[in-house]
Structure 1
Amino acid sequence: MFKLPQKARFGEQTPPAIFPPIFGLLGIGLAWRRAEPVFQAPPAVSQLILGAVSLLFLFALGAYGLKVIRRPAVVAEDLRVLPGRAGLAAMVLSVYLMAAVLLPMSPRAAGAVLLAGLAGHAALVWLVIAALLRGPEEQRQVTPVWHLQFVGVIFVPLVAIPLGYTGLSRFIFYGAGAFALAILAISVAQIIRRDPPPPLRPLMAIHVAPFSLLGAVALMLNERLPALIFAALATAILAALLIRARYIAAAGFSPLWGAFTFPLAAYASLMLALAGAGEGEPFRFAGGVTLVAGTLMIPAIAVKVMQAWAKGGLAVKTNAARA
């Protein structure tokens, strides 16, 4: 008897690639919160962005959760491919940003979400290390995605410091800083030896994010000189990427363009934080420019990625596992 093809179930092949642009949207919403004392921006702007994006993140998280419930092995399978590793890292780090979103409204809820993020991040790191040890040697090559997996804990102090965990935050700051510098140095050496293939070049933008976060955390720890040093390093990396923009984007639009989103938001936040701390007009100008650029660019990338997800092509393009 002839059978009709079975209709795909919702969430059956949710691609992790949906999370980097959502991560960027949360970041630009928090950047607008930083802009409130610097530019007297109305709080309604950040509240509107963060409210809408929080709902989008919860929807995406639910869709991926359905996939995992149906077949838990999909997580390990998604970690075998670079878009999956980047996407799952962005998913976990977005939980930290959700804690930052909740912080002004409910410190207790923010602390609970922060702990959930730490648990999820620890599980992700364990799975990534297991995949690296079991997988082929070429998968063990250092990539910018390592910043998200192994340095992403630098997001924790953004919430932990206001909650009073200064000692823990200082420990994370120094540890994450050492890892970030090591990953950058190895990545630069690899680029000198061999050009990355055009489709993977957008991932180079990720290098801006950890140093922007390190600068912001240093400022929160009242470490002015390290904050300015990390700001200078993040600026140098961003400038190098802008100079080589045609080289970076040579392959045209792809889901990996999500890697452009959260670094830009993180850099805008750092510049606005420095401006708010009274470090001078150049930081205010840089913060304003990157905030506007991020507000225009990040939603545009997110819309294209979400459209690809809705049409069913994103999972295929990024080799997402099926439940």
Structure 2
Amino acid sequence: MTFAANPAASLPAPRSSVKHLPVNLFGAVMGLSGLSMAWRGAGPVFGTSPAIGDAVGVVAVLAFLALAAGYLAKWLRYRDAVLAEFNHPVAGNFFGTITIAILLLSSVVGVHHEALGQAVWTLGTVLTIALTFVIAGRLFRGKGDPTHVVPAWLIPGVATLDIAVAGGTMPMAWAHEVNLFAIAVGTMMALVFFTMIFSRLVHHDPLPAGMVPSLIILIAPFEVGFLAYVNVTGHIDMFAGMLFYFGLFLFLLLSWRVFRRPAPFAPSWWAISFPMAALSNAALKYAAHVQTGVLAWVAGLILLALTVAIAVLSVRTLHGLFTQRLLAG
């Protein structure tokens, strides 16, 4: 009787299938769209070419089309897997990444085609509000598990705020009231969920290693709130500055926890991309307003960190896709 030298070698390799395409991978579109907007916003501060932002925007659109096709195929072939993901108390919140991606893409394409940008924003707004009602409604069922209260819970609230981020300058007569509704709902949801998550992190066991990158999501309500408030009001005041600085403080505080001993790469790492992109966009807007050298340097360093982070995440994701590990069961 003989034995294989490596028992694992005799096991079948994990099968790569669209069934295992995680919805949180739409976070890549959010990050790429945010990076595109950040490089556009860098123009007034650093004089950079808008072509950089446009190029990243093309990648964001292509990434969304590829992921949308893949997830549609998953829905058609493995509907039970999609429903299980949607009904999961944690994973279900990541469906907000789809609607946020659509909202952000409205800003990406709207620069070149105003009518298309308005149509995409309208679609994203309807889907975001509908999803927010569904996700928020689940909370009233009661008997929730405290361990399920994780940073991903903030995504639906942040999604609502992104309506105003992308639609603050929409010319439709009804857009202002929709933006005001979005800010009201997003602000209150963010406050409630942030408090619940903060309490869970303080009083319960630490997050599992694979969920540690999602801690960066905690900065999103403040930086996205800054962008939504500034885009709708049309000015930067002390309240806006407070939102920006507290988000920056949280980023510096949480980065040590997230990046000191980074967890192995997984699609969940894309959770860091959009909060960092929101911070970068906010920093660039604030630096352009204040016009001090220190803040310009801060904004530049954040933009550099965001660019490097998304480049690394993109390479790791493509490597996982081509080696059939990304979609392996």
> What is the TM-score when the length of structure 2 is the normalising length?
0.84
Shift of 1:197: 2.4
Q: CA offsets, 1:193-214, max 9 Å, x none? A: 1222222221111011221111
Shift of 1:57: 1.4
Q: Which residue of 1 aligns with 2:160?
A: 153
1:170 partner letter = L
User: Partners of 2:93 and 2:244 in 1: how far apart?
Assistant: 24
1:115 partnered with 2:122: yes
1:142 partner letter = V
The SS at the match of 2:215 is helix
Higher RCO (CA 8 Å, separation ≥ 6 residues): 1
Query: Which structure 2 residues correspond to residues 26-175 of structure 1 after superposition, within 5 A?
Result: 26-81=33-88, 84-85=91-92, 87-129=94-136, 137-138=144-145, 141-164=148-171, 165-175=175-185
Q: Which residue of 2 aligns with 1:209?
A: 220
Of 117-126 and 234-243, more deviation after overlay is shown by 117-126
Q: Residues 13 and 132 from structure 1, CA distance in 2 versus in 1: closer, same or farther, beyond 3 angstroms? A: farther
Q: Check conservation: 1:218, 1:224, Cα contact below 8 A.
A: no
Aligned length: 310
Shift of 1:98: 0.7
Q: Which residue of 2 aligns with 1:186?
A: 196
User: Partners of 2:292 and 2:236 in 1: how far apart?
Assistant: 17
1:200 partnered with 2:221: no
Q: Which residue of 1 aligns with 2:305?
A: 293
2:109 partner letter = L
Select the structure of larger CA radius of gyration.
2
Q: Which residue of 1 aligns with 2:274?
A: 262
Q: Check conservation: 1:152, 1:210, Cα contact below 8 A.
A: no
Which residue among 239, 242, 267 is the counterpart of 1:226? Answer: 239
Q: Check conservation: 1:20, 1:86, Cα contact below 8 A.
A: no
Q: CA offsets, 1:115-159, max 9 Å, x none? A: 211232234335535766779832883221121123311111123
Q: Which residue of 2 aligns with 1:283?
A: 295
> What is the TM-score when the length of structure 1 is the normalising length?
0.85
User: Partners of 2:65 and 2:142 in 1: how far apart?
Assistant: 31
User: Partners of 1:312 and 1:124 in 2: how far apart?
Assistant: 31
The SS at the match of 2:214 is helix
User: Partners of 2:142 and 2:203 in 1: how far apart?
Assistant: 23
2:117 partner letter = A
Of 304-313 and 220-229, more deviation after overlay is shown by 304-313
Q: Which residue of 1 aligns with 2:255?
A: 242
The SS at the match of 1:277 is helix
Shift of 1:252: 3.3
Q: Which residue of 2 aligns with 1:320?
A: none
Q: Which 5+ residue runs of structure 2 have no aligned equivalent?
A: 1-11
Shift of 1:289: 0.4
Of 61-70 and 81-90, more deviation after overlay is shown by 81-90
Q: CA offsets, 1:2-57, max 9 Å, x none? A: xxx9xx89744432232112321111111101111111101111111111221121
User: Partners of 1:77 and 1:180 in 2: how far apart?
Assistant: 25
1:281 partner letter = G
1:43 partner letter = P
Q: Which 5+ residue runs of structure 1 have no aligned equivalent?
A: 318-323
Q: Residues 269 and 218 from structure 1, CA distance in 2 versus in 1: closer, same or farther, beyond 3 angstroms? A: same
1:278 partner letter = V
